[in-house]
Amino acid sequence: MEPHAPRVLVADDEDDIRALVCLAVRRAGCRVVTEAADGPAALDGARNTLPDLAVLDVSMPGATGLEVCSALRADPSTAGVRVLLLSAGASPEDVARGLASGADSYLAKPFTVAGLVARVRELAGGVPA
């Protein structure tokens, strides 16, 4: 892993999903700088490590991924962090809500690792496929 690899925050309250997302992030040529299991920890992590990309589960305790995304956008120090939302909700309304919160992209669960790797590369500028 190159030291200047894109830095990624991963937040999901399900340990197995978080581990899978971290695997995909590393396969995309990026570096996981923070892992969080709830919204407040994700927001603190983003402010402390200033990642290039935050991969946020929509449904987390403490604060949803939508709320974390909105908070990132409202803070000038984190407003430039790219955001990928992951959610079991895949209706057009769910996607619209996610993008309205300021997210750069939205990926429905269940997702494939290959699909997530491609999306992370696209958003974070990881190594080319």
Which domain CATH number covers 30? 3.40.50.2300
pLDDT-derived band at 128, boundaries 50, 70, 90: low
Which amino acid, residue 96?
A
In a domain, 87, yes or no: yes
In a domain, 53, yes or no: yes
Residue 11 has pLDDT above 70, yes or no: yes
User: pLDDT digit string (tens) for 73-110?
Assistant: 999 999 999 999 999 988 999 999 999 999 999 999 99
Tens digit of pLDDT for each residue in 34-64? 999 999 999 999 999 999 999 999 999 999 9
Q: Is residue 3 very low, low, confident or very high in pLDDT (cuts 50, 70, 90)?
A: low
Residues 6+ apart with CB under 8 A from 85: 56, 57, 58, 65, 66, 69, 98, 101, 103, 105, 106, 107
Query: Is a pLDDT exceeding 70 seen at residue 2?
Result: no
The answer to the question of residue 1 being in a domain is: no
pTM (2 decimals)? 0.95
Considering its fold, how many domains does the chain have in total?
1
> What range does the domain containing 26 cover?
7-124
Tokens standing for 53?
A: 């990309």
